[in-house]
Amino acid sequence: MAKYDYNTIVIGAGSGGLVSAYIAAAVKAKVALIEQGPMGGDCLNTGCVPSKALLRSAKILGYAKRAEAFGFQSIDVTFNFEEVMKRVHNVIKAVAPHDSRERYTQLGVDCLTGKANITSPHSVSVNGKTLTARAIIVATGANPLIPPIPGLDAIDYLTSDTIWTVKSLPKRLLVLGGGPIGCEMAQAFTRLGSTVTVVEMAEQLLVREDKEVIEQITSTFVQEGIRVLTGHKATSFKGKTLACEHQGNTVSIDFDQVLVCLGRKPMTDGLGLEALGVKQHDNGCVTANPFLQTTVSSIYVCGDVAGPYQFTHMAAHQAWYSTVNALFSPFKRFKVNNSVVPWVTFTDPEVARVGLNEKEAVLQGIPHEVTTYSFSELDRAIADSETHGFIKLITPPGKDKLLGATIVGAKAGELIAEYILAMTHGIGLNKILNTLHVYPTFSEADRYAAGEWKKAHVSSRVLNVLAAFHRWRRS
Ligand SMILES: Cc1cc2nc3c(=O)[nH]c(=O)nc-3n(C[C@H](O)[C@H](O)[C@H](O)COP(=O)(O)OP(=O)(O)OC[C@H]3O[C@@H](n4cnc5c(N)ncnc54)[C@H](O)[C@@H]3O)c2cc1C
């Protein structure tokens, strides 16, 4: 008789849980996947997929608004907001089969619908039934964080969970929070026709990014008509007016709808973690060791509920470690490798990052050099009227090894892949420079940035020897 019903029970069928269940089934483990809501979690239903679908429609309007840049007098686009939102939902429907119960059942996963509660280090209760497993993987994600700002409760505010059900375009939209989600939504709704104000407590949008990045994004936002209020702390709501504190003064902002984008809170309510002694950090993330094992050794964790990087690709990355460790420990186990973490904010222009930026290198006292390359030098960017962008590379003094890269510009999210590969596999800038890139493409920018690094590191002694050689050849 088997001691456990399953090798592992995965709680949550979002980006992390789906990958966990997939891996477990692929290596022939018996796995149950429990989901209380729609399969696919945030990414499919309320996160990456709908937001990128909306940004795509908004981008078309962005091009139309820049008609003159492409040789047209004007491009008038007539559209119906409801149709745009319908497209967003059609995109979700088109992607949904990838994450569906049918697909995962076919892969050999037992898919269960219901709210899971962990009742012991090896048992989970769902729908009044108890299932047992050698290991449990918590992949329950995160929810929008709603801070206790006086008066917020009294208004019908929107979050990234609810904005997708909006039927008509908000006339005046207040976006609370200038992080990646707030910035993406602010630009999308501005392009669709809302009058948008972004309120951010920090002195800049996208707080993690370097000064030049923010200058580029902020100037684009302002040009497009977004009112950017940084250094403004939301203090209270009175009806449809927000009061902010700014340099000792009170600033009032009227709005029709408010979208709260102030971060995401790990989802652990009702899971039973506390009773079992599974510890959590102050920010709510479940505490885990480098093997993604919680303080109860048979319970593992991955994705937004583990933090610190709340991205789909990080949820999937962690899922590999938590699943392999859950299934094969103590015979084989792996420490999660967070040495190369990339992300992209899908504003237009996009902001893509991997590794360190200049701000972090300075803050951490890491000796470094900075190399920059402007898209205004790139033939394809000129042809496409997309010259507003640049690459910024961080390297150790005198070495071509990448410590980090930031790209701002069209297709930055694609271009960063080459630097992610380079950092992951120890490929230096010399090797990128010695790699053929197709002309005329945006990807050439990666190579030209490496070329800028090379130009700054050519030895003057070698150049003097070469000059002497050529003088001798002419003599
Ligand atoms: C607007 C927006 C845009 C985003 N854009 C991007 C992007 O472009 N790129 C990117 O990388 N990331 C993006 N993200 C972040 C990304 O969506 C998340 O990092 C990712 O979805 C996390 O996956 P997860 O598996 O940890 O959690 P989730 O996807 O949230 O899945 C957790 C699942 O667990 C279920 N669950 C919770 N508790 C229980 C329980 N007790 N019993 C059963 N089921 C339970 C939930 O219902 C949910 O389905 C975006 C997020 C938002 C909100």
- The residue whose C-alpha atom lies closest to atom 33 belonging to ligand 1 is 12
Per DSSP, 79 falls in state -
| Tokens matching residue 127 | 């729908």
Tell which atom from ligand 1 comes closest to the C-alpha of 143.
Answer: 30
Q: pLDDT 10s digit of each residue in the chain, 475 long?
A: 689 999 999 999 999 999 999 999 999 999 999 999 999 999 999 999 999 999 999 999 999 999 999 999 999 999 999 999 999 999 999 999 999 999 999 999 999 999 999 999 999 999 999 999 999 999 999 999 999 999 999 999 999 999 999 999 999 999 999 999 999 999 999 999 999 999 999 999 999 999 999 999 999 999 999 999 999 999 999 999 999 999 999 999 999 999 999 999 999 999 999 999 999 999 999 999 999 999 999 999 999 999 999 999 999 999 999 999 999 999 999 999 999 999 999 999 999 999 999 999 999 999 999 999 999 999 999 999 999 999 999 999 999 999 999 999 999 999 999 999 999 999 999 999 999 999 999 999 999 999 999 999 998 999 999 999 999 999 9
Q: Does the beta carbon of 42 lie inside 6 Å of ligand 1?
A: yes
| Tokens matching residue 231 | 């250094």
Residue 254: is it exposed, middle or buried by C-beta count within 10 angstroms (0-12/13-18/19+)? Answer: exposed
CA trace torsion 394, 399, 400, 404 (10° rounding)? -20
| Tokens matching residue 339 | 């040495």
SS3 458: coil
Nearest one of 143, 449, 137, 409 to 294, comparing CA atoms: 137
- Give me the pLDDT at residue 1, please: 62
How far does residue 142's CA lie from ligand 1's centre (Å)? Answer: 6
**C-alpha 454, offset from chain centre:** 31
For residues 51 and 185, give the distance between their C-alpha atoms in angstroms, rounded to a whole number. 8
Residue with tokens 């820049």: 66
Count of residues making up the chain = 475
Nearest one of 456, 469, 387 to 220, comparing CA atoms: 387
For residues 140 and 266, give the distance between their C-alpha atoms in angstroms, rounded to a whole number. 8
CA trace torsion 467, 472, 473, 475 (10° rounding)? 130
Tell which atom from ligand 1 comes closest to the C-alpha of 163.
Answer: 1
Residue with tokens 């966990």: 20
SS3 130: strand
- Best mutation site among 9, 264, 311, 318 for ligand 1, i.e. most ligand atoms within 8 A of its Cβ? 311
- Give me the pLDDT at residue 2, please: 80
* Sign of the dihedral defined by the CA atoms of residues 99, 105, 106, 107, in that order: positive
- Give me the pLDDT at residue 143, please: 97
Rg (Cα) of the chain, in Å, rounded?
A: 25
- The residue whose C-alpha atom lies closest to atom 52 belonging to ligand 1 is 47
Q: Does the beta carbon of 37 lie inside 6 Å of ligand 1?
A: yes
* Sign of the dihedral defined by the CA atoms of residues 315, 317, 322, 324, in that order: positive
| Tokens matching residue 77 | 């686009």
How far does residue 408's CA lie from ligand 1's centre (Å)? Answer: 26
Residue with tokens 């010399």: 430
How far does residue 326's CA lie from ligand 1's centre (Å)? Answer: 21
Q: Does the beta carbon of 43 lie inside 6 Å of ligand 1?
A: yes
For residues 314 and 294, give the distance between their C-alpha atoms in angstroms, rounded to a whole number. 18
Nearest one of 231, 251, 254, 250 to 174, comparing CA atoms: 254
For residues 313 and 144, give the distance between their C-alpha atoms in angstroms, rounded to a whole number. 19
Q: Using alpha carbons, list the distances in angstroms from residue 358 to 56, 91, 366, 393, 421.
A: 30, 37, 10, 9, 20
Q: Does the beta carbon of 17 lie inside 6 Å of ligand 1?
A: yes
Q: Does the beta carbon of 303 lie inside 6 Å of ligand 1?
A: yes
Q: Does the beta carbon of 125 lie inside 6 Å of ligand 1?
A: no
Residue 120: which H helix or E strand, with range? strand 116-120
Angle between helix 15-26 and 312-328 (nearest 10)? 40
322 in Cβ contact with 292 (< 8 Å): yes
Beta carbons within 8 Å of 318's beta carbon, 6+ residues apart: 16, 292, 301, 302, 303, 306, 336
Q: Does the beta carbon of 15 lie inside 6 Å of ligand 1?
A: yes
Q: Does the beta carbon of 16 lie inside 6 Å of ligand 1?
A: yes
Q: Does the beta carbon of 10 lie inside 6 Å of ligand 1?
A: no
For residues 422 and 430, give the distance between their C-alpha atoms in angstroms, rounded to a whole number. 11
| Tokens matching residue 180 | 């990646």
Beta carbons within 8 Å of 404's beta carbon, 6+ residues apart: 353, 354, 355, 356, 357, 360, 361, 393, 394, 423
445 in Cβ contact with 378 (< 8 Å): yes
Residue 96: is it exposed, middle or buried by C-beta count within 10 angstroms (0-12/13-18/19+)? Answer: middle
Tell which atom from ligand 1 comes closest to the C-alpha of 144.
Answer: 53
Residue with tokens 């050099």: 369
Beta carbons within 8 Å of 136's beta carbon, 6+ residues apart: 8, 9, 10, 11, 118, 121, 122, 124, 298, 299, 300, 326
How far does residue 397's CA lie from ligand 1's centre (Å)? Answer: 39
Q: Using alpha carbons, list the distances in angstroms from residue 249 to 92, 246, 252, 319, 422.
A: 44, 5, 10, 47, 48
How far does residue 311's CA lie from ligand 1's centre (Å)? Answer: 8
Half-sphere exposure of 278 (CA within 13 A, CB side): 29
